[in-house]
Amino acid sequence: MQITLPPELEQFIQRQITAGKYQSALDVITAGVHLLEQQEDIYQGRLPELQQDAQIGLEAVQRGEVVEGPTAMAQIREKLRTRHASPES
């Protein structure tokens, strides 16, 4: 496989090699692909959890249990003020 990289990526790769972080362009590209694989693994692992959270949110909306953003932020701020204003045990 032959790949033509844009100049800014070639410069980035060269900086990594010059800095001594990698021995070759292939090493830099391999490291990038490994990070992409890890990111994909994390995404795939979290996708069912995120879908479940979205379903819970949708069901809360359907039950009318949702608070508008500004109201929610005001409630959070008030809880924080109350928590920080009360003497600690």
Coil, strand or helix: which one is 9?
A: helix
- Which pair of structure tokens corresponds to residue 7? 């100049």
DSSP state of 51: H
Average pLDDT (62-75) is: 89
Instruction: List Cβ<8 Å contacts ≥24 apart for 67-74.
Output: none
Q: What is the rounded CA–CA span in Å between residue 23 and residue 19?
A: 10
Report the half-sphere exposure of 18 (CA within 13 A, side-chain side).
6
Specify if 2 maps to a domain.
Answer: no
Question: The domain containing residue 77 runs over which residues?
Answer: 7-84
Where residue 37 falls among pLDDT bands split at 50, 70, 90? very high
**pLDDT over 70, % of the chain:** 96
CB contact at 8 A, 28 and 14: no
Specify if 71 maps to a domain.
Answer: yes
How many structural domains does the chain have?
1
Output the pLDDT for position 9.
96
